[in-house]
Amino acid sequence: MKKNFLIFFLLILLVPSFAQQQESLVSSQDSIAQVKADRKKTYSGPRKASIMSAILPGLGQAYNKKFWKIPIIYTGLGGLGYMFTINQQQYNYFRKNLIAANDEDPNTMNTTRWDSQNLQTQKITYRKRRDIAIIGIAILYVLNIVDANVDAHLKTFDVSDDLSIQIDPWQDTYVGRSELGTTVGFSVKLNFK
């Protein structure tokens, strides 16, 4: 009887401990799930803004409610697109005239006043300008995506008035064994929330 009672008593003591372990596992899984949900909530905004800006420039800025940046993006893209178009037309014009000047066909004629050497120089110049416009468009496109991502990350950044720095000069006079001395310096105080 004592043996059965002892086994019964030990079982009663062990059952709550197993239940507590399961509860602690469940609560730790819930807290991990909560942390993951918070992280997803925090980082899904920048990811979404980046994807939106990659699909359509300026859309990520609209998602971040920074509407004033959209005209800047499209003005830059429009200006660089115009630069590309004009330089591509001039490149094709000088290229066509260079081909006409160097082929032996009497039906094609150089319609410019320049010789082959000057036509080659003009063709290279307009090709370089066209390539610069292409590089500028690519850089502006990437900057658009990066700006949307960074702006979405900084959406939760605290810029309250409680953040400050204070620098104060100070002076101290002291009496030593046989002399009178002065020390000077400055103190820095950082005020956070």
Question: How many domains in the chain?
Answer: 1
Lowest mean per-residue pLDDT among 50-54, 123-127, 144-148, 154-158: 154-158
Q: Residue 88 has what pLDDT?
A: 97
Q: Residue 191 has what pLDDT?
A: 74
189 inside domain: no
Higher-pLDDT residue of 158 and 21 is: 158
Match 């991990």 to its residue by tokens: 32
**Dihedral over alpha carbons 84, 86, 87, 88 (to 10 degrees):** 80
65 inside domain: yes
Helices 116-153 and 2-55 cross at an angle (nearest 10°) of 150
The structure tokens listed for 153 are 């990350």
Q: Tell me the per-residue pLDDT of 126-146, one tens digit each, with 9 for 90 and over.
A: 999 999 999 999 999 999 999
152 inside domain: yes
CA distances 185 to 3, 165, 175, 189, Å, are 80, 17, 18, 14
179 inside domain: no
First-to-last alpha carbon distance for the chain, in angstroms, is 67
Rounded CA-CA distance 70/59 in Å is 8
87 inside domain: yes
Q: Tell me the per-residue pLDDT of 10-34, one tens digit each, with 9 for 90 and over.
A: 556 555 554 445 555 556 667 777 7
Match 């658009």 to its residue by tokens: 144
- Name the DSSP letter for residue 106: T
User: Where do runs of H (alpha helix) occur along the chain?
Assistant: 2-55, 59-63, 69-102, 116-153
Higher-pLDDT residue of 159 and 127 is: 127
Cα of 74 vs its chain's centroid, Å: 19
137 inside domain: yes
The structure tokens listed for 110 are 């150089």
Rounded CA-CA distance 159/150 in Å is 16
151 inside domain: yes
191 inside domain: no
pTM, whole model, 2 decimals? 0.61
Q: Quick one: pLDDT band at residue 8, thresholds 50, 70, 90?
A: low
Domain that residue 115 falls in:
59-156
Q: Tell me the per-residue pLDDT of 58-115, one tens digit each, with 9 for 90 and over.
A: 999 999 999 999 999 999 999 999 999 999 999 999 999 999 888 888 788 888 888 9
